[in-house]
Every structure is written in structure tokens, then in C-alpha cells.
Structure 1
């Protein structure tokens, strides 16, 4: 049998209850036309029908494993969103089956963060979930965090193992900056409030970074000035010999003392390396 054809029939068995009932219930011949099965597909389906117990076991075990992989991805990539959903009694298993049906039950394999990002995109598009105050903003924040990890996994270089050149601040860890229209700080500080309280409607900015390849990503609330600096960092080479001038060019009044305090804070977090000999 042609492998691609077998694969397509198998996918239909995984995702279509009517197909499973016909094949495993001994009704293949009478239901084949209604299911749109051609002669070659009927041959494949009949081979599955000859072993209904084994086929059913593999269908259920595969679906169980894929739903488990959905939960693993959510808990790994978006632990805050996961807790907020549970706090609101959202039926995550139903959402898992809906998404996997759309994906035709394709296994993401080891790409947990890529799958987790796709799950977050699916959750963000769910209109009913948008009624939970702050959830859409939280989903977007953890989606941005997933992107930071995915970028780091792609091997984008940082200056973690390099000494900064004279007069240059250097980026030492993969990072991103995300802004939203609700202040999620309380949710980040206290998991007991996740999804239970209503985050204030106020603009807030967050630094997302990966302190080390083996570390969990961190999310830190930062002031607007710091987010401006982060965006300049993200758009350049990671070298900041003219940081104050760059900020001034973008319409921000120079504030060397405040900028230096922000840079020192980033250095303490492990995001930046200070210039050799200070600046």
C-alpha cells in the first residue's frame, strides 16, 4: 500500500468519529460512499477493520498521548496562562481536542515551545476566553516569552562569553520586551490571584529574558524608560557606546544618571555586561 495513503486514512481514523465507527463497527462497506472513500482508501480501511481491537487501542493511546503533549506544552511554555485557565474552570481537554483536530493530530515531537506558541495563538483567538479580564494580555505576554526561548534555541549569538569592548555595554542573554494595556504585575507576583482578580487597565512594560540556556525564562516589569532602552537594544548589535545620544535622537531628553541606573539594573540581572573599566 502507498504510505502516504495509509497515513491519510490513519489520520481520518484519529480525528473522525464517524470513520472510526464505520471501520471498527463492521459497517465499512455500507458507509464507504458517505465517507468519501475510494477503492484504494477502502482497501486500507479494510486492513484496519480486520484488527478492530488493535486499531482501537492504537487510536486511543495515540490520542491520549497527544492530549498529554498538549498539557505538557501549556504547563512548560505558559505556566501562568495554564493556572489562570484552571482558576476559571476552562475545559482545557476540550480545547486540546479542538486544536488537535485542526492540526489533524500531527505530533509536534520535541518542538515543545513551537507547539506551545501555537496553543497560545489558538487560545488568543478564542472569543469566549477574551471575556476573562487580563487573560488575553497574559497569553500575549507568554507568547512573547515563548518567542524569546525559540530564538535562543535557534542559536542567535550573545556576548555571554565575551568581554565587552572599551566603552561598550553588551547584551549577554536572549531577551524581548513586551507592552500591554493591563498591569499584570500582581498576577506575576502572586500566583494565587492568577485569573481570579481583575488586573488594572494601565499600560505596563515587561522585560523577558533567558539568564542561561538551562534556566527558566524570567519576566520582569520595567518602567517606560527602561522599555525604550530595551527596544534600542533589540534593534541593534547589542553594543551601546552612544546609548544616550540614540535615546535623544528618538525624542527622549538625555538623562544620563537615570539611564545609568537602568543599565546597572540590567547588569545585575545578567542581561548586560558593563564596559571595560566602567563608563
Structure 2
């Protein structure tokens, strides 16, 4: 039996609940497995003969992935996790629902990728009105957090472009439809006391690569300056200077000096 084929077939078994049930019920029939090659069917037959032992490994695999789901939220979207817990959501069952929808995919050490996909899935459910709209808004905020971390997995991108203010690559801006700052100030109310509607601009920023992210509530003009940093020589309102200084201090923008070519 080819070791590589055996390994890949075992991974398929781990992700196929219908096949697992057939094996456990001892109802598996090779002729009913058109999706598998003859070599793969031989591997499945070997596991079918030892299904009692294989069942333990399957259950252990699923247990690990369920716990990994919780770990992914704890690391990437702790506010969303706390809000769900405060609402009495059964996280292990939610985990199983996600994993079944994703064929028990094993993300391994890719915690933030796992969290990104969880948030995508939760937000899609929220659009079906399963979750309160402010909670979906919170998920969107933490999606920006996760996206920021993922964008830095290969380091900080080099700044380029004309002189003036430029993004550092260490911040993301989220425009929320509810006053999520209420939840950020009082995390005990997450998921329980719904914040009122009202647009807010929340900046997610990393002071440096060794620090955790922070949230800053920005005035609309400050948010506009982040979205479109002024280039060198662009006209500025006299009130823009403190906003730009705040964005630079938050490591969201950097001022690129004008360089003169020596001839």
C-alpha cells in the first residue's frame, strides 16, 4: 500500500462524515464509492476492518478542531467570542456547525486564517438575521483586525509613492453603523446591551510588530484624512494639522519627506 495514497485517503475519511458513518455502521460498500480510485478504496477497506480503532482517531481529530475554533476566536476576535458567550451561544455546537459547513478542514497553525473564515461565515449568517445587527457590525470590525494581522505575515510593506503622508500598513479603518465604542468602553455589556445606531469611525492600529492592536475613535475629518492622505503641496485646512499628527502618532500614517535629486 502506497504511504502517500494511504495518508491522503485517511485525510479524506476525516473530512467525510457520511463515509465515517458508513464505516462505523459497517455499511460501507466499495462499489458505492465512485469518488475514490481503486487504490483509495483499498485503503478505506483496510480502515473498515479496524473501524473501532479508527473511530477513536476520528473523534480525537474532531475534538481538536472544535477546540481550535475557540482558540482562533480567542486570538483573532475576542470581542465577538465574548459577545457570543454573553448571549448564551453554545460555542462547541457553533464550532461543529462551522466545521461541517467547511468539511472539517484542518487549518493547523494558521489561526488568523481560521478566524477570518469563521468571521466570514458568522457575518453571512448575520445577513440572514441570525445575529443582531450590532453584533454583525462588531464582527466586521474584528474582521478588519484579522485582515491587518494577515497582511503583515510577510512583514511591513515598504512605503512608496510621492512625498507627503502615506499609510504605514499598520492600521485599518472601519466605519461602523452602530456606536461600537460603547462596547469597547464597557466590555461587560458585549452582546447584551445593544449600542444605539450611529456612524462611527474606528481605527485599528498596531504601535509596532511586537504589540497588540488598539482601537481609536476618529472624528469624521480625521477618518477622511486617513482614507486619502494628503500628498506634498496639497492644500490643508488649518484644523487638519492635529488630525494628521494624531494619525502619525498612532502609527497609521507616515510623513514622507520631499527628496531633491543631486545633479
Corresponding residue for residue 214 of structure 1? 210
Kindly report which structure 2 residues correspond to 1:113-132, keeping only aligned pairs within 5 A, or say none: 113-127=112-126, 130-132=130-132
Provide the C-alpha distance between the structure 1 equivalents of 2:172 and 2:245, rounded to a whole number of angstroms.
18
Corresponding residue for residue 242 of structure 1? 233
Provide the C-alpha distance between the structure 1 equivalents of 2:256 and 2:19, rounded to a whole number of angstroms.
66
Corresponding residue for residue 143 of structure 1? 143
Provide the C-alpha distance between the structure 2 equivalents of 1:199 and 1:14, rounded to a whole number of angstroms.
40
Provide the C-alpha distance between the structure 1 equivalents of 2:231 and 2:214, rounded to a whole number of angstroms.
23
Alpha-carbon distance, 1:120 to partner: 0.2
Corresponding residue for residue 93 of structure 1? 92
The change in CA–CA distance for 1:148 and 1:242 in structure 2 (over 3 A counts) is farther
2:9 touches 2:44 (CA, 8 Å); kept in 1?
no
1:183 touches 1:203 (CA, 8 Å); kept in 2?
yes
Provide the C-alpha distance between the structure 2 equivalents of 1:198 and 1:25, rounded to a whole number of angstroms.
47
Aligned pair count reads 252
Alignment pair present for 1:175 and 2:175: no
Alpha-carbon distance, 1:205 to partner: 0.7
Residue of structure 1 aligned with 2:241, choices 241, 252, 260: 260
Alignment pair present for 1:44 and 2:26: no
2:98 touches 2:121 (CA, 8 Å); kept in 1?
yes
The change in CA–CA distance for 1:274 and 1:19 in structure 2 (over 3 A counts) is closer
Provide the C-alpha distance between the structure 2 equivalents of 1:147 and 1:232, rounded to a whole number of angstroms.
20
Q: Secondary structure at the match of 1:219?
A: strand
For the aligned residue pairs, the C-alpha RMSD in angstroms reads: 2.8
Tell me the alpha carbon deviations over residues 155-212 of structure 1, each in whole angstroms, 9 at most, x when there is no partner. Answer: 34256xxxxx9x8445445111111211101101111011111111111111111211
Tell me the alpha carbon deviations over residues 91-126 of structure 1, each in whole angstroms, 9 at most, x when there is no partner. Answer: 222222222223222221222111111110000011
Residue of structure 1 aligned with 2:191, choices 188, 191, 195: 195
1:14 touches 1:63 (CA, 8 Å); kept in 2?
no
Tell me the alpha carbon deviations over residues 203-253 of structure 1, each in whole angstroms, 9 at most, x when there is no partner. Answer: 1111111211121122211111011011013xxxxx74235x3xxxxxxxx
Alignment pair present for 1:58 and 2:46: no
Q: Moved runs in structure 1, 4+ residues, more than 6 A?
A: none
Provide the C-alpha distance between the structure 2 equivalents of 1:143 and 1:39, rounded to a whole number of angstroms.
40
Corresponding residue for residue 250 of structure 1? none
Alpha-carbon distance, 1:49 to partner: 2.3
Corresponding residue for residue 152 of structure 1? 152
Q: Secondary structure at the match of 1:109?
A: coil
Alpha-carbon distance, 1:132 to partner: 1.9
Residue of structure 1 aligned with 2:228, choices 207, 225, 232: 232
1:124 touches 1:130 (CA, 8 Å); kept in 2?
no
Q: Which runs of 5+ in 2 are unaligned?
A: 258-263
Q: Secondary structure at the match of 1:206?
A: strand
Provide the C-alpha distance between the structure 2 equivalents of 1:4 and 1:129, rounded to a whole number of angstroms.
43
**What's the TM-score once normalised by structure 2's chain length?**
0.83
Alignment pair present for 1:19 and 2:19: yes
